[in-house]
Structure 1
Amino acid sequence: MTIRTITVPVKDLEASTALYSALLGSEPYVTSPYYVGFRPEGTPEIGLDPHGDVAAGPVAFHHVDDIEATIAALAEKGASIERSPHDVGGPVIATLRDNDGNLFGLYQGPAE
């Protein structure tokens, strides 16, 4: 089974759309008052749901080339660091919270 859509509950659809556009590196393919959908190449669809339960949001790790630069860019859009970047045996990971408190992770693979 393949995950095709991850729906993230949000309180502020406009602010979350800006943050997720920066995180995913793409603009939404659909924008409405009840759903904003992204289809970044090679990943499942990410949907923002302004009517969902914010406390029940999933954690997904996004692979990035430069974790520090990514954190800085996302912080400018309203993300906050939950757990600073730390080595987990080669890869470096960090967890952040979006504008609504949903947890998401960043993963930077080891240098080759």
Structure 2
Amino acid sequence: MTTQGIKTVLHPVADLTAAKTVYAALLGLEPQTDSPYYVGFEAEGQHIGLVPAGSPQSPESPVSYWHVADIEAKIAALTAAGAAVQQAAREVGGGRLVATVTDPDGNVLGLIQDR
């Protein structure tokens, strides 16, 4: 079972408004999602998300998310290979499921399944 590749990277930020300005300048476009709890940019087939640091959905550092067809099957395969579940699959809106696991060195791997 292959992945669809890394398409999403979430960045925790202390000041969502200030970060939004910097990322808009970096990417050369305005965000497609702009709310008090999440700002998202679509750039050349990749999604760059800004999440307020310390919020429930915020990672501790930037996390790359691998898009998969079956998140539970991928979690099972990864844990069988030695990864540990950091955050079980959960719905985050619009039918999207996300989860994180850690590799044997503690690196965080994000998983996304769109329904």
Q: Which TM-score tier does this pair reach, normalised by the shorter chain?
A: 0.3 to 0.5
- Bigger Rg, which one: 2
TM-score where L is the length of structure 2: 0.46
TM-score where L is the length of structure 1: 0.47
